[in-house]
Structure 1
Amino acid sequence: MIRRVFFNISVLASPFFQMSVMFFILGFQSILMGLIAELLVRTYHESQQKPTYRVRAVLGKKSRSR
């Protein structure tokens, strides 16, 4: 904004604008890759009929008396 007002330099020709667009696209791609990976992992575990996490032992559990 300051470049445009005081120096009459186009904002679109600035490397800062180009870098901000590139980082925006990179961030969007990263979010989408994470979502796709989450779907793949869930589909894999459901197709194998395996639990996602397996608890080996519960430590320090107090017994309930009813």
Structure 2
Amino acid sequence: MNVQTEPVEDGGYQSTIQVRHSSPNGDFEHTFRLGKKFSTERDAVLDGLREGMVWIGLKMARTIKV
């Protein structure tokens, strides 16, 4: 998983998350941006990591298919 942050125009930060994992069905990769704005870069990274782990959990449990 990779989380990148970038400043937004009116202050704060936004996160872009890239998740990647291997499975018997082949490699999987997905990149998405959180719609939330965070006041600190630290908060943006922590929430991005949390959301990425949730996404991987849902994908591995076959709750979602992409």
* Structure 1 length-normalised TM: 0.36
Which one has a larger percent helix, Structure 1 or Structure 2? 1
Which one has a larger percent strand, Structure 1 or Structure 2? 2
Higher relative contact order (CA 8 A, sep 6+): 2
* Structure 2 length-normalised TM: 0.36
Larger Rg: 1
